[in-house]
Chain A
Amino acid sequence: MVKDEKPSNKIRSNYFGLTFNSPIILLSGCVGFGDEYTRVDGYSNSDVGGICLKGTTLDERLGNNAQRIYETSDGMINAIGLQNPGADYVIDNILPSLNFNETNFIANISGASVDEYVAIVKKFDNSNINALEINISCPNVKEGGVHFGNDYEMTSKIVSECRKNTKKPLIIKLSPNQSNIGMSAQKCIDAGADGLSVINTISAMSIDIKSRKPVLDNINGGLSGPAIKPIALLKVFEAYQISKKYNIPIIGQGGIINYKDAIEFILAGASLVGLGTAMFYDPLICPKINDELVKYIEFNEIKNIKDLIGNLN
Chain B
Amino acid sequence: MLPTDLLMFRVKAGLVQPRVLNPTPGNRQLTELLIQTFQSSLGRQRAQLEDELKLLEAGRSDYRVLRGLAHILATDHSEFETGSLTDPASVRSRVFELVQAHPPSRLRRGAVLAQVAATLGQTPEEIDRLLYADLPGEQLLTRFEPPEPEALLTRFNLAQAQGMLYRAYSLIITARRNEPARYKQLLKYTKLFGLMVTVEGDADTGFTLTMDGPTSLFGGTTRYGLALAKFLPALLHVTKWDLTAALKPRRDLAWVDPADEEWTFELTSEDGYVSHYPEPKEHDSALESGFEERFHKLGSPWRLEREVDLVPVPGGVIIPDFRLVHPDGRSVLLEIVGYWRPEYLIKKFELLRRSGRTDVIVAVSERLNLERAGVGVQDFGERVLFFKGVLDPKRVLALAEPLLAETGD
A in complex with B: no
Question: Which residues from chain B sit less than 8 Å from chain A, CB to CB?
Answer: none
Question: Which residues from chain A sit less than 8 Å from chain B, CB to CB?
Answer: none
